[in-house]
C-alpha cells in the first residue's frame, strides 16, 4: 500500500525546499523526503558553517591590525570550543527561522523524515521506515558530498562536513585542493594561528577563476604564512603517527614528499549523493558520479527531474534553488521552463574575498580578441584606503561593438557584493555607458564598478583618437 502524490521531492536542502514550495504554489499535492536534518549540507555542514568560521577569522584579522588604527590590544586567542558552539548556534537559528519542518506544512507539503528513500520503480519510492510513496513526477534534490581519495589512509582525513568535529585546533594542517572550499578553509585556519600547507595539482591556486584572481590570492596566501604548493603529481597516502598526528605523502617532480601535520583536510571533489538511491530501478542514467539532465532538468526518464548539485552542473546554492524552482514548475506544468546559468555569480570568503560572473578575460579574448577590458586596483578606491584593505582589483570585460558587459571579476574586500552589483546590471541589460553614469554612493566598495565602467567607456574613444591622423599644420 502506498500514498500517492503529484510531486515527490527527495531531499530538504535548498533545492528540495525551493522545489516543494514551488510545486505546492502551483496546486500540486507534494511530499518531501529527508533522511537527516532539513537545510541540507549547506546549512548544516557546508557553506553556512564555513562562512561563520570565516567571519571569526576576519575578526581575528581586524584585531591584529587594530594598532594601525591607533588601538592597542593584546594578541587574540581562539577558544575553539566556543567557536564551534557559536557555529552550531547559528545553524540552529537558521533552522528555527526558515528551515523547520513546520515551514513545509505551511507551504502545503507533507514532510517525511523516516530515513532515506530509494526507488522501487520509476514512480514508487520506499523509505527506511517501510512507508511507500507514489508520484507522477519525482524531483531528486539529494545534493552532493565530499569525495575521499582512493588512497591508503583516506579515512584518516577530514572533509568540510567534519571540520567541526575537531576537538581542538591543529597546530599544523594540510589541505588538499585549492578550490573554493579548500582556499577558504586555508585562510580560516591560518587566521586561527595554524600552520597551513595548501596542496594543488593544477599549476595555480583556484584554477577555475580568472587568472588575475589566482595571482592575487596566491600572493596573499603566501604573505599570510600559508605554504602553497602547486603542480603536485598527487597524494599517495595518509598515515597516523604514534602521537595521534598525520603524515601525508605526496608526489612532486617524481619525488615522494612526507608532510607531518596534526590534521589533513581533503577538498578534492563533490560527487552526487546518489548512493543507495536505486536510480537503476527507475531507469535513470548515471554518468561518472552525476545524473545528466537536459535544459528542463529532466533525466532520461522524463518525469524524473534532478536540479542542484546532483546533476554536476553549477553546484552552487543559488543555482540549486534556481534550478529547483524550474524543475518543480516543469514537473507540474510540463517541460516548458528551461535553465541557463549565463549570469550565475560566484564567490568565496577567502582573505581577500574573490568573486566573478560571466566570461573570464581568457574566455572573452578567445571569442573576441578585441573585447574591452578595464582593471581598477583597490588601491585607487577611497573606501579601500580608508579601511586599509587595498589588496585586489575589479575587472570588467565588455563587447567592443555593442558595449555590453561579458563578465566581471573581483578580488578584495567585499568582492562578492561588488560582483553582485555588476550581475544585477548585466541581468537588466545595462550597457557600459549607462553603468558609467550611475551615481554610486561614496565612499563604497561598489563604486569601483562605476570607475571600471568609465575606463571601458574611455577606451574606444582613446583608440579612435590614436588612430586619427594628425591635423594638418598652418601651411599643410
The domain ranges of the chain are 3-144+271-333, 154-266, 352-462
Provide the 8-state DSSP code for 253: T
> What CATH code would you report for 154-266?
3.50.50.60
352-462: same fold as 154-266? no
Give the CA distances from residue 9 to residues 24, 140, 326, 467, in Å, rounded to whole numbers and listed in that order.
11, 6, 13, 61
Query: Which residues in 171-198 are b (16+ Cβ under 10 Å) and which e?
Result: ebbbbbbbbbbbbbbbbbbbbbebbbbb
For each successive 10 residues of the chain (476 residues), what is the average pLDDT?
95 94 97 92 91 96 94 94 97 80 88 95 97 98 94 96 95 97 97 97 94 96 97 97 95 94 96 95 95 98 97 92 97 96 93 96 93 97 97 96 92 97 96 95 97 88 42 40
Contact predicate 101/32, CB 8 Å: no
Rounded to 10 deg, the angle between the 415-427 and 447-467 helix axes is 60
The pLDDT value given to residue 401? 84
Its CATH class, for the domain covering 3-144+271-333, is: alpha beta
- Cα radius of gyration (the chain): 25
Give the CATH number of domain 352-462; options: 3.30.470.20, 3.40.640.10, 3.30.390.30, 3.30.110.40: 3.30.390.30
The pLDDT value given to residue 98? 67
The pLDDT value given to residue 99? 63
Amino acid at each position: 500500500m502506498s500514498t500517492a502524490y503529484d510531486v515527490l521531492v527527495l531531499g530538504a536542502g535548498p533545492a528540495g525546499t525551493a522545489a516543494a514550495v514551488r510545486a505546492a504554489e502551483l496546486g500540486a499535492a507534494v511530499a518531501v523526503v529527508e533522511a537527516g536534518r532539513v537545510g541540507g549540507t549547506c546549512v548544516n555542514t557546508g557553506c553556512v558553517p564555513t562562512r561563520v568560521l570565516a567571519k571569526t577569522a576576519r575578526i581575528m584579522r581586524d584585531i591584529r591590525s587594530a594598532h594601525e588604527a591607533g588601538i592597542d590590544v593584546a594578541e587574540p586567542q581562539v577558544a575553539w570550543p566556543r567557536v564551534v558552539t557559536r557555529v552550531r548556534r547559528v545553524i540552529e537559528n537558521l533552522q528555527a527561522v526558515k528551515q523547520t519542518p513546520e515551514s513545509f506544512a505551511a507551504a502545503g507539503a507533507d514532510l517525511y523524515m523516516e530515513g532515506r528513500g530509494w526507488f522501487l520503480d520509476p514512480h514508487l519510492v520506499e523509505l527506511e521506515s517501510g512507508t511507500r510513496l507514489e508520484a507522477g513526477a519525482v524531483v531528486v534534490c539529494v545534493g552532493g558530498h565530499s569525495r575521499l581519495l582512493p588512497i591508503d589512509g583516506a579515512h584518516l582525513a577530514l572533509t568540510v562536513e567534519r571540520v567541526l568535529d575537531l576537538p581542538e585546533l591543529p597546530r599544523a594542517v594540510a589541505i588538499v585542493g585549492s578550490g573554493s572550499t579548500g582556499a577558504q578553509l586555508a585562510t580560516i585556519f591560518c587566521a586561527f594561528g595554524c600552520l597551513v600547507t595548501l596542496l594543488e595539482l593544477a599549476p595555480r591556486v583556484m584554477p577555475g577563476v580568472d587568472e588575475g584572481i589566482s595571482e592575487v590570492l596566491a600572493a596573499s596566501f603566501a604573505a599570510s604564512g600559508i605554504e602553497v604548493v602547486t603542480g603536485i603529481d598527487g597524494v599517495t597516502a595518509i598515515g597516523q603517527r604514534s602521537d595521534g598526528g598525520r603524515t601525508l605523502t605526496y608526489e612532486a617532480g617524481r619525488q615522494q614528499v612526507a608532510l607531518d601535520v596534526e590534521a589533513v583536510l581533503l577538498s578534492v571533489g563533490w560527487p552526487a549523493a546518489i548512493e543507495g538511491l536505486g536510480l537503476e530501478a527507475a531507469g535513470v542514467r548515471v554518468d561518472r558520479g552525476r545524473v545528466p539532465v537536459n535544459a528542463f532538468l529532466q533525466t532520461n526518464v522524463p518525469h524524473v527531474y534532478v536540479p542542484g548539485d546532483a546533476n554536476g552542473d553549477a553546484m552552487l546554492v543559488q543555482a540549486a534553488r534556481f534550478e529547483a524552482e524550474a524543475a518543480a514548475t516543469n514537473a507540474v506544468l510540463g517541460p516548458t521552463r528551461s535553465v541557463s546559468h549565463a549570469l550565475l555569480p560566484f564567490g568565496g570568503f577567502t582573505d581577500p574575498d574573490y568573486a566573478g560572473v560571466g566570461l573570464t578575460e581568457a574566455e572573452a579574448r578567445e571569442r573576441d580578441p578585441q573585447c574591452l577590458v578595464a582593471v581598477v586596483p583597490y588601491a585607487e578606491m577611497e573606501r579601500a584606503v580608508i579601511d586599509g584593505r587595498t589588496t585586489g582589483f575589479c575587472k570588467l570585460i565588455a563587447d567592443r561593438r555593442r558595449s555590453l558587459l561579458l563578465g566581471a571579476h573581483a578580488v578584495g574586500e567585499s568582492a562578492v557584493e561588488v560582483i553582485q552589483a555588476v550581475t544585477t546590471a548585466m541581468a537588466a541589460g545595462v550597457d557600459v555607458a549607462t553603468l558609467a553614469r550611475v551615481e554610486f554612493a561614496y565612499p563604497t566598495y561598489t563604486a569601483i564598478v562605476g570607475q571600471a565602467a568609465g575606463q571601458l567607456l574611455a577606451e574606444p574613444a582613446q583608440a579612435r583618437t590614436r588612430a586619427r591622423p594628425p591635423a594638418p599644420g598652418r601651411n599643410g
